[in-house]
Amino acid sequence: MFFFDLSYILWVMVPGLLIGLWAQARVKAAYAEAEQFVSRAGYSGAELADRILRGAGIADVEIEPTQGFLTDHYHPMLKALRLSEAHFHGRSLAAVGIAAHEAGHAIQHAQGYLPLQLRSALVPVCQVGQWIGQAAMMLGLVLWFTGVGQTVLLIAILGYAAVFAFTLVTLPVEFDASRRALAVLGERGYLAADELPVVRRVLSAAALTYVANAVQVLLVLLYLVSQYQRRNG
C-alpha cells in the first residue's frame, strides 16, 4: 500500500521534508536579521508601497492590512496589495523589503508581465490538479491490482504535472518582483547602500521557498511516473 511504500519515504518524503526545512530556516534567519533594523528613511511598509506604486503611475491599487504572519500578497483580480499587520505598520527592513516585493507584483500586473498572467490563469488548474492528483495517487497505488489503478495513477500524474507547471511559472514571477523591489529601493534612495544587502537576503531566502516547493512537487511527480512505468513495464 501507498503509505508503507519505502521508496516513497526515502525518495520523496525525506528529501522533500529536508528541503522544506532548509528553506524555512533560511527565511527565518534572514527575516530575524532584517527585523532588527529600522529603515533609516522612516517609511512604514504601507507608506513605502504607496510611494512605489505612485512612482510607477499606479493609483488604482488598494493597500490593505491583513491578519497573520507573512501573509503578504498581491491579489490581481481585486487589485489589492495586502500586507500583514506587522509589515503594514512596521518600519523594519523586513517590512519595507516585503512591501516593495508585493509592490513589484502590482507593477508586473500593470505592465502585463506575461509570467504573472500565466500564473493567474493556472491558479484554478493547479487547485483542481492538486486535489485530483492527491486523491488519484492514493487510490491508484492502493487499487493497482483491481484493474483501474493504472488509469487512476495516470490521472494522478497529470494532476501533479499541472501543479508542477504552476510552480515553474511562479519562479520567474517571484524572482522578478524581488528584482524590481531591490532596484527601486536603491535607485530612488528609499534604502541606504548598507541596508540593501539585508533586504536582499530576506527576498532571496523567501524565493528559496518557491524553489523548494517546486522541487517537492517534482519529487512526487517523478515518483508517480516511476511507479507507472514499473507497473506498466
Question: SS3 breakdown of the chain: % helix, strand, coil, rounded to 5?
Answer: 75, 5, 20
Tell me which of 47, 62, 64, 102 is the catalytic residue.
102
Strands 80-84, 73-75: parallel, antiparallel or unpaired by DSSP?
Answer: antiparallel
Read off the C-alpha cell for 96.
519595507
Question: Residue type at 233?
Answer: G
Ramachandran angles phi, psi of 192, nearest 5°: -75, 165
- Look up 102 and say whether it is catalytic: yes
Element (H, E) at 126: helix 114-142
Separation CA 198–CA 185 (nearest Å):
12
In this structure, the number of other CB atoms found within 10 A of the CB of residue 159 comes to 24
- In whole angstroms, how large is the CA radius of gyration of the chain? 21
Comparing CA positions, the residue from 193, 202, 180 lying closest to residue 103 is 180
* Catalytic annotation, residues: 102
